[in-house]
Homo-oligomer: A and B are copies of this chain.
């Protein structure tokens, strides 16, 4: 960054022969988080994670973040300080500069909007639209951990959860290194980040690629959460959002390693002709795999 906070706009130098990537994401109190469930560090961490995860899914490197934060007048300054600590700790780890933004007074709850700018070598971004029939479908890490944690919070709002035992929900790890490797080694034909849940995000890949898909339920890696850790319900792994893992496709000819950047890779299905997306149950029966979406909690 050449010029940052303190001028009308920030000036960013783009690496030679690179294009830029831009993504924006809202984090709204009562929709994406609750102040009584989620520590302020988490809200700051999550806010940046959403942007980083989008850049990861394009195979890009993050450069700079812009944060617009609206908070109620009654909010303690400590909350804001802790929010920034969570945000900036993650930013530092990924060499992302907080290059601009705004703090304003909110008429309702806390509201954060992030714009994240990254870069990617020209013409090399991983898109949603390039999956082809016959490609295999993979995910990084395991799924459902974030939704299962939210469900526990929702069912027992008074119970105190230790963030360390539920790291997938409280401190998800954006897959920047994994996305870069998929791009550099030309392993993936398409990619998306799992923010809305497997069923919804897979439907985006299929729609953009004009293809169908088949997912093998038995193959879907379920997260283990809590203490002692236990495997999450399969429905949460299939539909729950906010895991920030990557879903990607690769041709059958490509040898996809078992781990990428230290994260397990699992083959979970294949891209098919047509537009149907089906889920192969353990019994062998194929059912429609409808996007259930990610039902954000409401107060």
By a CB distance below 8 angstroms, the chain B residues around A66 are 22-24, 115
Number of this chain's copies in the complex: 2
In the bound complex, do residue A21 and residue B26 qualify as a contact, i.e. CB atoms below 8 Å apart? Answer: no
Interface residue? A208 (CB, 8 A): yes
* Contact indicator B113/A28 (Cβ below 8 Å): no
Identify which of B7, B11, B104, B108 contacts A20 (C-beta below 8 A).
B11
Q: Is A105 an interface residue (CB 8 A)?
A: yes
User: What is the chain B residue whose CB lies nearest that of A128?
Assistant: B7
- The stretch among A54-62, A257-265, A267-275, A281-289 that forms the contact with chain B is A54-62
| Chain B residues whose CB sits within 8 angstroms of the CB of A128 once the complex forms | 6-8
Q: Please give, as numbers and ranges, the residues of chain B lying within 8 Å of A48 by CB-CB distance.
A: none
Interface size class, chain A: 35 or more
Q: Residue on B with the closest CB to A60?
A: B9
How far, in whole Å, are A60 and B8 apart by their CA atoms in the complex?
11
A64 partner residues in chain B, CB cutoff 8 A: 22
Residue of B nearest to A22 (CB): B10
- Asked if A54 contacts B9 (CB within 8 A), the reply is yes
Which residues of the other chain, B, contact A9 by a CB distance below 8 angstroms? 21-23, 54-55, 57-58, 60, 116, 118, 125
Chain B contacts of A99 at CB under 8 A? 22
| Cβ 8 A contact of A19, one of B11, B102, B193 | B11
B12→A19 contact, CB < 8 A = yes
| Residue with the highest number of chain B CB atoms closer than 10 Å, among A58, A104, A117 | A104
Complex Cα distance, B31 from A23, in Å, reads: 26
A10 lies within 8 A of B6 (CB): no
| A24 B102 Cβ-Cβ under 8 A | yes
Q: Is A181 an interface residue (CB 8 A)?
A: no
B28 adjacent to A104 (CB under 8 Å): yes
Q: With A and B bound together, what is the CA distance between A43 and B279 in angstroms?
A: 45
A187 contacts the other chain (CB 8 A): no
Whether B129 lies near A22 (C-beta < 8 A) is no
Cα distance A104–B23 when bound, in Å?
Answer: 16
A14 within 8 A of partner (CB): yes
B58, A28: Cβ atoms under 8 Å? no
